[in-house]
Structure 1
Amino acid sequence: MATRGTPSVPMGEAGEEARDAVPRPWPMRAGLSSFPAQFDAFLERAEFDRGPWLVVAFAAGIGLWFALPAPAYWLAAISVALAGVIAAALVWRGRERRGHVLAALASLALALALGIALVWARSALVGAEPIEQPRFERIDGRILEREEQPAEDRVRLVLAARDGGNGRALAYRINVPLAEDLPGLREGARVRLAARLMPPSPPIVPGAYNFARRAWFEGLSATGSLVGKIELVEPAAQTELSLAAIQRRLSAHVRASLGGTRGAVAATLASGDRGAIPEADEEAMRDAGLTHLLSISGLHVSAIIAAVYVLALRLLALWPWLALRVRLPLVATGAAAAAGIGYTLLTGAEVPTVRSCIGALLVLIALAIGREPLSLRMVAVAAGVVLALWPEALVGPSFQMSFAAVIAIVALHNASAIRAFLAPREESWLRRAGRRTAVLFLTGLVIELALMPIVLFHFHRAGVYGAAANLLAIPLVTFLAMPLVALALALDLVGAGGPVWWLVGHSLEALLGIAHFFADQPGSVKLAPRIPTGTVVLYAAGALWLALWHGRTRIYGLTPIAVAVVLIVLAPVPDILITRDGRDIGVANESERLLVLREGEGGYARDNLLELAGSMREPLLLEQWPGSRCSDEFCVLSLRRGGRDWAVLVARNRELVEERALAAACAKADLVIAPRFLPRSCRPRWLTADRRFLEREGGTAIYLDRQRIDTVSQEQGVHGWWHAPDR
């Protein structure tokens, strides 16, 4: 019976309808409470694997540290991540069924915070303060590293010395001409020399290579070149058994056995030493998409490990007594692991090599214990180890390209369609070979598509025919050139390697022929102007989503990839590029060739201007362009952009000009560019890009139609490798 004044609650279906009709004080509560269930169901449908995503979050934290400008922002990001952990714990508190969702969110947030903290700590520990300005200095120091570069006619030495001003320990990288090289200039030797020193160079224009950041993490305070003679004060201790000495001797032996470019490439395959490869051949390899064959990475390490594993397994199987008492795969795994580690150390232990070695060791372990050897979790472990040791590697092209290629390969070969296509079946060897060749070509194509945005972002040019070139070059190097190099070195122990070196030479001639053939084809190189960092991050996010999820969920990754590709294609070319010293400028979008201020036979600055302007043609001098009027001191340009004419005044040198005449000329210009300080009376209608501006902002890219100014300073924040005068 119902109480008076209180409506009775009917039972059954009518009761359910009546309860639904009663208004609830919090209508959103049901939606909020159902979110965890929906999220949990989404993760289950997409076969969520927390391991790879933890590494992605860890890498995202490292990337945030580079992207955010100041310590206050880094602390705020860490705080937000930790607050997310606490919020997740509160939302899912007491919900045992959602425990794995809580663990996933909390662990991802913690990984992000750890990434920020780790790279911040490493920067504080290893970062080297650059010298304040160029200077001439007499140095008394010890050699830490020696890098031979015969193709550049020089040797690079890294010296540890004391700053003459305050006595702090510094590391300098000095270029020594081969003519001044001495036999005793080895690691550990003490030398005296005079050198012109420069602070490590930041990007000369937005989008160019940031050597200052790399030098910061490598501990270099200055770079320079030798002036005069170098004096050997104290020879090094006996170092014939050091890895560096072994690498140099091996490289020299290979080059002596096989001269020219063939010997230089063979030395690269044997020891990782690329210093003797001529620039023209290295450029052909790059434009053909074959540069990865010159960088000791997954292909080389995997070939060495696989060859040692198979040989050890076959040879040990010939000993019945051992085969009956010992698990031969374990012994072969140990031999292959030792060979891989030794090869990695011998070739310099660069990031791609370390990544490949770790990945190959994980594959060996999986084979030994009977687990799936090729998985994205294995790739994630390798990436996590590399980032834990060298977090700064994340922003370098080596890490990005090597892991992008491996992720693309593993994701492709784990796809159900590819597995079904390659599944064993009753068929002729010709059909089987055709299937594998088709998959090999598809793999090369997928790798090229995966790497193209990254290559264009870092180098502003990429080879278009890389898939076809790799289809020929990878089998040639993997199954012919590298085994022949190893065999020749083994036979050299008994003085019988000559005939095999002859075969090595012909195989490498074929490799270089492939490179030059594809590099010389029309349209073989795609050029791109500066691509914003956000565009590449958007592409990477879509690619990772596509690779790491399963089922239909992964298709959502195609949307950010498509948007990023459109943004890359539509990336605008700057109208004016100004280097940080103001001595080199480039004017694009006005003729079929880039307009430059000074004559020159190429050079680093001009190459960067051409690449960022997307031009491969020889540049044209401003004074030779019909739309300019030049005197000995200035050039005046008229550029039509955004529906209006822009008057640009460019100083041709640092000669002083009468102030009244200069002020009058500035008043008629919209933009003034000069490599020296201009007086305050020089007031153009829009911008004065003189030495004062360039020292503060660095290299500059100007988009006249959008009235946008991009500078190097905008991308650097207050990280240790960038110091600009006070604004």
Structure 2
Amino acid sequence: MRPVLAGLEALGAARGRLMPWAPVFLSLGIGLYFALGVEPAAAAIAAAAALAVALALAAWRGSGLLRVPATGLGLVALGLVLAALRAHLVAAPVLPFRYYGPIEGRIVDIDRSFSDELRLTLDRVVLEDVAPDRTPGRVRIALHGEQGFTDLAPGLTVILSGHLSPPDGPVEPGGFDFQRLAWFSGLGGVGYTRSPVLALLPPEGGLSLFAFRLRMRLSEAMQSAIPGQAGAFASAMMTGDRAGMNQATNDVLRASNLSHLISISGLHMGLLVGFIFATCRYGLALLPPLALRLNTKKLAALVALMAAAFYLMLAGPNVATRRAFIMAAVMLVAVLADRRAISLRSVAIAALIVLVLEPESLVEPGFQMSFGATVALIVSFQPWQRVQAHVPKLLRPAAMMVLSSLAAGTATAPIAAAHFNRIAEYGLLANLLAVPLMGVIVMPAGVIAAVLAPFGLAFPALWAMGIGTDLILRLAAWVAGMKGAVVAVPAPPEGALALLALGGIAALIGRGLWLRGAGTAAAALALLLWAGTERPAALVSSDGGLAGVMAEAGRALSKPKGAGFVAKSWLEDDGDLAAQDQAFTRPGFEGARGDLTADVAGLTLRHLFGKGAAERAGAACRDGALVVLSVEWEGPRPGGCTLVDPLSLKKTGALAIYAGPDGLRIVSARVAAGDRLWNRPPERRARVAALQ
């Protein structure tokens, strides 16, 4: 009992230094909500809320020994409640079936799809013969075929004929869950059109659309002044408009670990705020009458805060930009309050604000990478402050750049590998060369161009900015072209990334050798689990249109094209850099096109697709085979096999087959994902809502 009491006393004595742990405990509750296999009932959420209140009272008025444990447990309960409430608050209609027909809506976003096609996000959606209470609030449509008949603009109401479907679930059990992302984004339908998009009503006003319209105008102006992909890259960095960037540019940025430069995040906000803060402060220092009468540091912080708010409005309130603004705002407010601007406490406050406002951010790579990098930078600069006096002054900036890139890269590499299944081998080199160009040329030139634009004098600054962005793109292409620039890694097993994150946090911010040692051991265990991850022996897509079997040379696919996103995701999760057409040529499937056979640890897998697939299914259904049909089977199911078709797969989702010493194990994506708000059929969602 004495060791426990001693531990509680030590926690109570260290209470003032435990602020960095607050978002960690809140994250545990949020993570618990997303890890649940069943959506918690209203009574369970109410019980968790009551527990959070009781623990808060215990932390406030209870014994000193219990305050820290009560606070930690209360934050866990609060995190669970916040995530559950957020999931219910963002609830919106999801299209209950596949739809083809006229689609009307107002443009609220323009970007590019996976296939590099222009894509529109529409709100105020109207669908033919679909009741308003069943019509999604937002849909996203990729534009195929001949377009250009309408000048697409923010706020423009358009009409078109297109295909829409409900957001699909994971492409494999335990994989990336697009349904969950769409749910929290308010996206109730996705699809495409091959017909021209026509204007129905002129663009509308509104503050959000005003910012969107301003962003698009600035983007067009920048791309007019800076030709080619350098202009599209500059526009993406300064305004968040990535529609002008082609797939080739995105690929080299990813391969060189520079894709974070086109996501307006902490780096952009930090460079912007830092440049404006320094310019304002040192500019005022040149005016002695003002410098002697004003607190130039606080005035510069106030100006930088207003600039950051404008940048947030301009770039759009996406998650990464909001998160970057909150982090910058917390640090600038700390300056105004005469507190340390950069500290673990400031980062903790920013993380708490983000998690309270958007608990779903926790499971997104942007949140994990930005806060992981920030914590690593702060921790790494503590020893740097002790040794920098021994480094020659001329070498300090370079040494500091190497240290910061190494710290941020080390912290974010496993997160990026877990989400994107690749490691850029020369990412450190690329960032060491590209980030200074961002800070010295691109961002300052962009700010100067914005200040001079109202006077028609922005061209010289844009010219300089174009030189900087062109150099960065050339650098990215050079690094991406190096041998072994990209190393593919398989997807980690469930729970490994969470264990790695907790271990890393304990090792970085923990106080005491035992806690840091335990954190290091947990991180090492997570990496061992990751290294031994088991990939499925076979995979079947959620519509039966694609199958893949693991062979000696890697996963072999049943089609050379079609279902491109599914194929790419499977191969990436395998840690495989092959393209779909390359994977199709691998040994694994045998037979004629549309009637392929593969052996999966003794199980015969038949994939039937194309013309006459249903007629061939009866003959294929024998000897206990697994028959995958790409069209719906009509009539009673034949005996002698397991037959799956789009109708049955709609209930199970994608399938994975694992081969082990105990035989074959088939796992469905729907079972793996559990019964959650975002993957329930619309009719079940309505029944549950009525009961609650």
Match of 2:428 in 1: 467
Superposition deviation, residue 339 in structure 1: 0.8
Q: Distance in 1 between matches of 2:582 and 2:386?
A: 59
- Partner of 1:206: helix, strand, or coil? coil
User: Equivalences for 1:529-540 in 2 at 5 Å?
Assistant: 529-540=490-501
Gap runs ≥5 in structure 2: 685-692
1:333 to 287, 301, 304: 301
TM-superposition CA deviations, 1:411-457 (whole Å, max 9, x none) = 2223xx333113x46x7433xx2x44334323322322322222222
Which residue pairs with 1:673 in the alignment? 628
Written as runs of structure 1 = structure 2, the 5 A alignment for 1:201-600 is 201-226=168-193, 228-237=195-204, 242-414=210-382, 417-422=383-388, 424=389, 428-430=392-394, 433=395, 435-552=396-513, 553-588=515-550, 590-600=551-561
Contact 1:297 1:352 in 2 (8 A): yes
- Counterpart-to-counterpart distance in 2, 1:65 and 1:523: 39
**CA distance in 2: counterparts of 1:314 and 1:725, whole angstroms:** 59
RMSD over equivalenced CA pairs, Å: 3.3
> What are the residue-to-residue correspondences of 1:69-108 with 2, within 5 Å?
69-72=37-40, 76=44, 79=47, 99-108=63-72
Aligned residue identity for 1:584: L
Q: 1:585 to 1:524 in 2, by over 3 A?
A: same
TM-superposed deviation, 1:261? 0.8
Deviations 1:214-241 (A, max 9, x none): 2212222112223534443332345699
Deviations along 1:452-505, one digit per CA (max 9) or x if unpaired, are: 222222222231222222111111111122212333444454444444444333
Aligned residue for 1:4? none
| TM-superposition CA deviations, 1:76-115 (whole Å, max 9, x none) | 587478669869999x99xx9x934422222222222222
Quote the Cα distance in structure 1 between the aligned partners of 2:611 and 2:43.
45
Aligned partners of 2:591 and 2:597 also within 8 Å: yes
Matched, 1:112 2:76: yes
- The 1:538/1:623 distance shift into structure 2, 3 A limit, reads closer
Larger Rg: 1
Q: Following TM superposition, by how much is the alpha carbon of 1:366 offset from its aligned partner in structure 2, in angstroms?
A: 2.6
2:109 to 136, 140, 146: 146
Aligned to 2:23: 55
Q: If the length of structure 2 is used for normalisation, what is the TM-score?
A: 0.88
Alignment of 1:566-715 (within 5 A): 566-588=528-550, 590-600=551-561, 603-619=564-580, 628-631=589-592, 634-639=595-600, 641=601, 645-653=602-610, 655-656=612-613, 662=618, 665-677=620-632, 680-684=637-641, 688-705=643-660, 707-715=664-672
Partner amino acid, structure 1, of 2:629: A
- The answer to which of 514-523 and 256-265 deviates more is 514-523
Distance 1:714 1:646, change over 3 A: same
Task: Answer yes or no: is the 8 Å Cα contact 1:147–1:156 preserved in 2.
Answer: yes
Once residues 88 and 393 of structure 1 are traced to their aligned partners in structure 2, the CA distance between those partners, rounded to angstroms, is 24
Distance verdict in 2 for CA 1:656–1:352, change over 3 Å: closer
Does the 8 A contact of 1:81 with 1:110 survive in 2?
no
C-alpha distance in structure 1 between counterparts of 2:259 and 2:592, whole Å: 45
* Structure 2 residue identity aligned to 1:447: A
Give distance in 1, aligned partners of 2:677 and 2:612. Answer: 35
Give SS of 2:548's match.
strand
3-state SS of 1:228 partner = coil
Amino acid of the structure 1 residue aligned with 2:125: A
**1:577–1:587 CA contact under 8 A, matched in 2:** yes
Distance 1:726 1:248 in 2: 40
Asked if 1:166 corresponds to 2:106, the answer is no
Contact residue 239 and residue 314 of structure 2 kept, 8 A: yes
Question: Secondary structure of the residue that 1:630 maps to in structure 2?
Answer: strand
Q: Which amino acid in 2 is paired with 1:701?
A: A
Tell me the distance in 2 between the aligned counterparts of 1:155 and 1:77: 38
- 1:449 alignment partner, SS class: helix
Deviation, 1:47, is 7.4
Q: Take 2:3 and 2:570, find their aligned partners in 1: how far apart are those partners?
A: 55
What is aligned with 2:687?
Answer: none
What secondary structure does 1:587 align onto? strand
CA 536–680 in structure 1, closer or farther in 2 if over 3 Å, else same: same
Q: TM (normalized to structure 1)?
A: 0.84
Percent identical among aligned pairs is: 29
Name structure 1 gaps, 5 residues minimum: 1-30
Q: Give the number of equivalent residue pairs.
A: 674
Q: For residues 87 and 725 of structure 1, what CA distance do their matches in structure 2 show?
A: 37
